[in-house]
Amino acid sequence: MLQKPADSYRTKIRSLDELRRIRRQGLFESKSMVLCHGVFDLVHPGHIRHLTYAKEKADVLVVSITADIHIAKAKYRPFVPQDLRALNLAALEMVDYVMIDHNPTPIPTILALHPEFFAKGFEYSNNPKTVQEVEALNTYGGELLLTPGDVVYSSSHIIETAPPNLSLEKLMLLMEAEGVGFDRLCGVIDGFRGKRVHVLGDTIVDSLSYTTLIGGMGKTPTPSVCFSNRVDFVGGAAIVAKHLRAAGAEVVFSTVLGDDKLAEMVLNSLEEDGIECRTIIDRSRPTTHKNAFVCGDYRLLKVDTVDNRSITNEQVDTFAQELRDIKADAVAFCDFRHGIFNHNTTPFLIEAIPNGCFKVADSQVASRWGNILEFGGFDLITPNEKEARFALGDQDAGIRTIAARLYEVVGCKTVILKLGDRGLLTCRGREHDNPRTYFVVDSFARHVVDPVGAGDALLAYATLSLLVDKSEVVASILGSLAAALECEYDGNVHILHEDVHTRLEEIKKLCEPSS
């Protein structure tokens, strides 16, 4: 069982103002201070040697750690959030105080605390930043202390080659910081029942055509397979509607379908689930169909049957009128760029959403080019990393920078940025130096079978969570759980609220000590 961290060493974690006050009040008496600064993403043997050596040179060891927002070592760092990094260091016996440094460099801390020594690893002796730190030390007579560098370990190397699984520890710390308990999470799920959501978007039928390998062509590198069977799944905006309904909500679904057998399958499936369909049957276009050919564990080929022309002005007017007339707690726009949403129709449809209605949008970049920036001012957007980078035209910035820029540009209330097997990152404010503005929830998937549709499950459960409980943390946790369950199924399958309840109880048993 995971135990909550003991409270005794938490008192070591202090702010810069608290440490300055302790220093000025003479509570260190005549004791000397040594300051160590770094990221300390994973505390490894090299860090222990560094801190032990520093402690031997002074009476009081203060360790300052770089805040998450200032870490730019890689796109997805830090691996361990700042509060947990601070706890890890505070638990070490040789460490007297830990502070989270919200400045980009340790120089303000050096000038505020006037430590007798500032300790750095020997490998940093010729670093340009060290020169600036020495200049700060010289202003009051402090001394640079270089710790032995005969053994050098790299947190980055450890994280990239064999990252430890800290998902439950991160979850516990996040829930504790936000005052969120498992009973509250379960209560939110129960509160989904009766919420009314209007979903508008492109329906897709996702098919898996199962085959077995026969051999290869003689003259070209083309595999030859024998067709076994095909399984059709309701996808696109329709599966979002099914997730919402499976979670307990009342759902109205507006979409365009062709006049074909696939449309009949979609409508029958939705009506069986109790979803109210407001469907436009367009005889001039097919129902969007994406057929993946599977052989063993490989997807050999995907064949799409699509017509990406914009819907007609009359059809746009019909949807706009439905948006105005249908009473709903939330409206979800699910944009797959297969005709309903484009530069001309989107503003008109947004304008039709009633005032006070919770607004959610997802705009996917796959074979088509959607742009999440078109949904400015929405309450929740849930792009994945590729979609966010595409919208901002930025392939290189760190993931927190991407989330912050997207939040600012779109002007939404909450951004849940999907990071695939890395989980998600949520941004919920403009105070980008505030650690509570961002948080990460790792993936809860145990064994990924098929990640297709995980984002749709996340959108559905996060939307309902925010309707019931305004906490972005609650929405991110429940959305991540639903996405994880979706990943464990082959094909696009709606996730029942009972299944989320069950997985939540399993995690609770791992996180909470037995009574």
Distances (CA, A) of 201 to 86, 279, 317, 466: 45, 11, 15, 21
Give yes or no for a contact between 82 and 65, defined as CB atoms under 8 angstroms apart.
Answer: yes
Structure confidence at residue 252 (pLDDT): 98
**230-250 pLDDT, tens digit each:** 999 999 999 999 999 999 999
pLDDT at 371: 85
- Phi, psi angle pair for 387, to nearest 5°: -65, -40
**Long-range Cβ contact pairs of 106-109 (< 8 A, separation 24 or more):** 106/35, 106/37, 106/64, 106/133, 107/132, 107/133, 107/136, 108/16, 109/16, 109/35, 109/37, 109/64
Nearest to 46 by CA among 142, 158, 132: 158
Tokens of 470: 């305004």
Give per-residue pLDDT as tens, 415-429.
999 998 888 999 987
* pTM to 2 decimal places: 0.75
User: What confidence tens digit (pLDDT) does each residue in 78-113 have?
Assistant: 778 888 888 889 888 889 999 999 888 999 999 999
Determine the pLDDT at residue 1. 40
Closest alpha carbon to 246 in 277, 205, 274, 271 = 274
Q: Would the pLDDT of 298 be above 60? A: yes
Average pLDDT, the chain: 87
Long-range Cβ contacts of 91-94 (<8 Å, 24+ apart): 91/5, 91/9, 92/43, 92/48, 92/51, 94/51, 94/52, 94/55, 94/61
Closest CA to 185 of 444, 449, 490: 444
**Confidence at 488, pLDDT banded by 50, 70, 90:** confident
CA neighbours within 13 Å on the CB side: how many for 10? Answer: 8
3-state helix, strand and coil shares in percent for the chain, rounded to the nearest 5:
40, 25, 35
Q: What is the pLDDT of residue 469?
A: 94
Which three-class secondary structure state does DSSP give residue 272?
helix
Tokens 């129960």 belong to 190
**Average of pLDDT values for 130-159?**
74
Element (H, E) at 241: helix 237-247
Helix axis angle for 182-190 and 472-487, nearest 10°, is 80
pLDDT digits (tens, 9 = 90+) for 44-73: 777 888 888 888 889 999 999 988 878 766
Please give the pLDDT value at position 151.
Answer: 44
- Poorest-confidence range of 18-27, 149-158, 184-193? 149-158
The pLDDT of residue 171 = 87
Q: Give the CB-side neighbour count of residue 284, counting CA atoms within 13 A.
A: 7
pLDDT of 272 strictly over 90: yes
Q: Which residue has the tokens 């109880």?
A: 505
133 DSSP assignment: H
pLDDT of residue 433: 63
Helix (H, G, I), strand (E, B) or coil at 225: strand
Split at pLDDT 50, 70, 90, the class of 5 is very low
**For the chain, how big is the Rg over CA atoms in Å?**
27
**Which amino acid is residue 379, in one-letter code?**
D
Task: Quote the pLDDT of residue 366.
Answer: 66
Say if residue 318's pLDDT is above 50.
Answer: yes
Record the tokens describing residue 496, joined without a space.
């029942």
| H or E stretch covering 331 | strand 330-335
Residues 324-344: pLDDT tens digits?
A: 999 999 999 999 999 999 999
Angle between helices 182-190 and 497-511 (to 10 degrees): 180
How far apart (Å, rounded) are the C-alpha atoms in residues 494 and 198? 17
Residue that has been written with the tokens 């007297």 in this structure:
96
The answer to whether residues 244 and 261 touch, using CB atoms and an 8 Å cutoff, is: no
Rounded Cα distance between 460 and 42, Å, is 35
Q: Are 255 and 201 in contact (CB under 8 A)?
A: yes
Task: Compute the distance between CA of residue 282 and CA of residue 288 in angstroms, rounded to an integer.
Answer: 12
Domains with residue ranges and CATH for the chain: 8-164 (3.40.50.620), 176-511 (3.40.1190.20)
The position carrying tokens 């105080």 is: 97
Highest mean pLDDT among 102-111, 125-134, 310-319, 431-440: 310-319
